[in-house]
Amino acid sequence: MSSATSSVEALSSLLSRQKSAFASAGAVSADTRRQRIQQVIDMLVRHHGELTEAIDLDFGGRPAGFSLMNDVLGALAALKHARDHLQGWMKEDPRQPFEPYDQLGAKAWVMHQPKGTVGILGTWNAPLYTLFSPLASALAAGNRAILKPSEVVPRTAELVARLCAEHLDPLDVAVVNGDAQLGEAFTAQPFDHLVFTGSTAIGRLVMRNAAQNLVPVTLELGGKSPVIVARSADLNKAAFSIAAAKACNGGQICINPDLVYVPKALLEPFLDALRAAYSELNPSVAGNPDVVAVVNQRHLDRVESYVLDAQARGARIECLPEPLALNPQDRRRPLRVVVDPAQDSLIMREEIFGPAVVVLTYEDLDQAIDDINARPRPLALYYFGEDPQEQQYVLEHTVSGGVTVNDVMMHAAMHDAPFGGVGASGMGHYHGREGFLEFSHQRTVFKAPEHDPRREWGLLPPYGEHYLATMIAMVTAD
């Protein structure tokens, strides 16, 4: 049977066969884990051209260089980091036995055991990275995996399925393809762990389905990641970093800035700096091969509806680099900057995930922090400023999945640090040792000493006359 299938029954059978193979294989050596990861690396290196071409066709315009940087090189970096460090991560973790067994020769340790088969649901905005970066952690931990690419990018999904079938053992790593109905069935399978990257709304459904089988989940969701531009910030640096982020993948990134908080007195200088920076990066939009298109018409209509709703409610709209005569054959769009929209606007509630951004003015820092804290926990938070005490204040008075200071989105590139959300932006991590631990069962082992003193100490029945008094005497506060 091909590793690519649209049949729920075949998916269930595939999962069952992977689980049987896992159970019969026993311990998974470091060499085996490295070999599995290397096969994925070799596949991506060999076929990177085909993969970036498929992504370009699916998006209707996505530069090959960007897809290489974002998806291929991003995935390769995660895979190589896991390959090169997994042996150290696998080492047993010695723990101190409790008294008095520590004096009698007892030993204790934590072993990191693979869970079994991990199901990984990727997303369309980073169709390779969201599959193969968590796969790196899963394989490093000794697991097998079944991948479900996003149906929004069908050419990429089909190519990933074909390449994995050609280069990988389906009992190690397999791919299933299908529509949202198969995706829902996928999340209801009895995996040993499930990874989902996508929206918060769908994340709730994934978690509900996984709960039927008590499957642990890693949810990488989104949210309205805020940027605080402080009065002490280098305004040109902040504007350039935000412009570069919004130009990246057409703003279609889970950690992309959604809300930018700017001191009211600095609004016009900031908007001028943002326009200059964005125009430098993208001096034109129509036909510009450097501009990433919105992935499909449904998502384009969604983003447009947010902007039009805000405009209808009285928001100021700036268009960078300039307004565009719309071409129905081209989904590339300029960046719309929505200034101080009404609180009940769609764009204030929904994750943008496209070429638009909200700029909100504030009088004092606590006003911005209070507004951030009144919203669901974001996947990322960004602070621009040169005041160390203020920086620490922001870090201590906000909660987010990750933080970048004086830039945006950089923390997600750390392969030796956990990446993940909190609250409505997700749960769990991948990347680095924390990713290895996420997909490992941390199994405590206690090895008893030869001599057990409990009976001679009167700690086993029949209890002696001094047993209760001894227990009471041990109830202390120090």
**CATH code, residues 8-221+428-441:** 3.40.605.10
Q: Could you tell me which residue, 36 or 1, shows the higher pLDDT?
A: 36
Q: Which of 164, 254, 351, 438 is catalytic?
A: 254
Burial class (CB in 10 A: 0-12, 13-18, 19+), 301: exposed
Q: What is the Cα 184 distance to its own chain's centre?
A: 19
Q: Encode pLDDT of 296-351 as tens digits.
A: 999 999 999 999 999 999 999 999 998 877 788 899 999 999 999 999 999 999 99
What is the percent of the chain where pLDDT is above 70?
Answer: 99
Cβ neighbours around 273 below 10 Å, total? 20
Choosing from 220, 248, 351, 438, which is the catalytic residue? Answer: 220
**Tokens 């791919």 found at:** 175
Distances (CA, A) of 91 to 30, 118, 302, 315: 10, 22, 49, 57
Contact call for residues 182 and 209 (beta carbons, < 8 A): no
Note the pLDDT tens digit of each residue in 269-285.
999 999 999 999 999 99
Give the model's confidence band at 6: pLDDT under 50 very low, under 70 low, under 90 confident, else very high: low
| CATH superfamily of this structure's domain 226-414 | Aldehyde Dehydrogenase; Chain A, domain 2 (3.40.309.10)
Once rounded to an integer, what is the mean pLDDT over residues 240-260? Answer: 97
Note the pLDDT of residue 329: 86
d(CA 379, CA 421): 5
- Residue 3 pLDDT class (50, 70, 90 cuts): very low
SS3 403: strand
User: Measuring CA to CA, which residue among 272, 289, 290 is closest to residue 281?
Assistant: 290
pTM passes above 0.85: yes
**328 secondary structure, DSSP code:** T
Q: What is the pLDDT of residues 182-213, one digit of tens each?
A: 999 999 999 999 999 999 999 999 999 999 99
**What one-character DSSP code corresponds to residue 436?**
H
Nearest to 122 by CA among 69, 92, 159: 159
Is pLDDT at 378 greater than 80 in this prediction? yes
pLDDT averaged over the chain?
Answer: 96
Q: Which amino acid is at 315?
A: A
Residue 364's CB: how many other CB atoms inside 10 A? 11
What was the pLDDT predicted at 354? 97
| Domain parsing of the chain, residue ranges | 8-221+428-441, 226-414
Which of 173, 229, 226, 195 minimizes the C-alpha distance to 32? 173
pLDDT at residue 2 greater than cutoff 50: no
Q: Is 396 a catalytic residue?
A: no
Q: Is 166 a catalytic residue?
A: no
